Homo-oligomer: A and B are copies of this chain.
């Protein structure tokens, strides 16, 4: 068995859980946020820097690595861990979300998805079997089943057909998955914003018996309250002895609200992407560093943070670096934003342990502000 989830504690007032996930590359504490290293690198960061800020697991994208440099090269390098010199756990998505996002460039059939490469326009094909094959070659600790992520909004008929295909594809992924000793395969629950369809998908996917389950098809443009509502009725359907992963979610409010509803794992490009665009998440709320008011601000980005950026540099200097498009600016903001989310999850875990998660949540939002 490639992974094992250990439930340590359940919150008395909410659905939150404290756990530990044992993987071939180490043990991680949940709930956890996974920084995204799309193309075999968490943008602007070294593996050592990721560890220094407390990253325990990262996510990488199968679609991008399939396109370039190709899973053959990464396999020859000894797998993704060795290729990028990251020796802790890695989770890969299935590539499904990216190929569906290609819009007119892709054609979906029962067999799989045919699409044109966004790089050179050449014809490519991903099926459930192919997604498992690629992820097997990458050698990641957790791979995801190839699913269809329905857009928002989508009518019920479409979502129903889509989730049923996702179930058939999940079955095919499971059948194709051989390396079960070293790599775990997670199933993905779809069903859009429809309660009965979520129930149907949850039942079908859980019946296939995966070592972990994701809630897919959320954070696709729907209002946050609707996402929370879907989680409210979906997570109680999920087994307590398996990890639960909410895909593509990474704003501080959504992390906390997700944990309250029983989610254990999250990933999102948000903290790294907005860092490169000059926005910091701080204990006082968002800081848009290019703003003129920071020109002469010699205070740290976040007075409550002890990351490398906040220990050493002023807002005035970071603003200067950002305005001049200097790489160090992107580096410092990336370090800070990731540390902010990783620290947030650490505090969330401590709050669960000490039965004060709701207090922590309310206190956090009072300072950070609640985003709609």
Binding site for B on A (CB under 8 A): 39-41, 43-46, 68-69, 73, 76-77, 83-85, 295-296, 298, 308, 312-314, 316-317, 320-321, 323-324, 326-328, 330-331
Whether B44 and A296, one on each chain, are in contact in the complex, defined by CB atoms closer than 8 angstroms, is: no
Whether A40 and B77, one on each chain, are in contact in the complex, defined by CB atoms closer than 8 angstroms, is: no
Give the residue among A84, A295, A320 with the most B Cβ atoms within 10 A: A320
Query: How far in angstroms is the closest Cβ of chain B from A176?
Result: 27
Give the residue among A46, A83, A328 with the most B Cβ atoms within 10 A: A328
Whether B41 and A316, one on each chain, are in contact in the complex, defined by CB atoms closer than 8 angstroms, is: no
Which residues of chain B come closer than 8 Å to A296, judged between CB atoms?
73, 76
Which residues of chain B come closer than 8 Å to A314, judged between CB atoms?
77, 83
| A319 nearest in chain B by CB position | B69
Which residues of chain B come closer than 8 Å to A77, judged between CB atoms?
298, 314, 316-317
Which residues of chain B come closer than 8 Å to A312, judged between CB atoms?
85
A68–B330 Cα distance when bound, in Å, is 18
Question: Given that A77-B298, A296-B73, A298-B77 are known contacts, is A68 also in contact with B326, CB under 8 Å in the complex?
Answer: no
Whether A327 and B44, one on each chain, are in contact in the complex, defined by CB atoms closer than 8 angstroms, is: yes
| A324 nearest in chain B by CB position | B39
Which residues of chain B come closer than 8 Å to A41, judged between CB atoms?
321, 326, 328
Which residues of chain B come closer than 8 Å to A316, judged between CB atoms?
69, 73, 77, 83
Whether B46 and A320, one on each chain, are in contact in the complex, defined by CB atoms closer than 8 angstroms, is: no
Query: How far in angstroms is the closest Cβ of chain B from A333?
Result: 12
Known contacts A40-B317, A41-B321; 15 additional CB pairs below 8 A are A39-B321, A43-B327, A43-B328, A46-B331, A73-B295, A76-B296, A76-B298, A77-B316, A83-B316, A83-B317, A84-B317, A85-B312, A85-B313, A85-B317, A327-B330
Which residues of chain B come closer than 8 Å to A330, judged between CB atoms?
327
Which of B69, B295, B324 has a CB less than 8 Å from the CB of A295?
B69
Question: Given that A314-B77, A317-B77, A323-B68 are known contacts, is A44 also in contact with B85, CB under 8 Å in the complex?
Answer: no
| A320 nearest in chain B by CB position | B69
Which residues of chain B come closer than 8 Å to A328, judged between CB atoms?
41, 43-46
A84–B324 Cα distance when bound, in Å, is 14
| A321 nearest in chain B by CB position | B41
Whether B331 and A327, one on each chain, are in contact in the complex, defined by CB atoms closer than 8 angstroms, is: yes
| A334 nearest in chain B by CB position | B327
Which of B46, B68, B308 has a CB less than 8 Å from the CB of A324?
B68
| A330 nearest in chain B by CB position | B327
| A328 nearest in chain B by CB position | B41
A9–B69 Cα distance when bound, in Å, is 52
What are 21 A-to-B residue pairs whose CB atoms are below 8 Å?
A39-B320, A39-B326, A40-B320, A40-B321, A43-B328, A44-B327, A45-B328, A46-B308, A68-B323, A68-B324, A69-B295, A69-B316, A76-B296, A76-B298, A77-B316, A83-B314, A84-B317, A85-B312, A85-B313, A327-B330, A327-B331
A314–B76 Cα distance when bound, in Å, is 12
A69–B46 Cα distance when bound, in Å, is 29
Which residues of chain B come closer than 8 Å to A295, judged between CB atoms?
69, 73
| 6 tightest Cβ-Cβ pairs between the two chains A and B | A44-B327, A69-B320, A41-B328, A39-B324, A41-B326, A85-B312
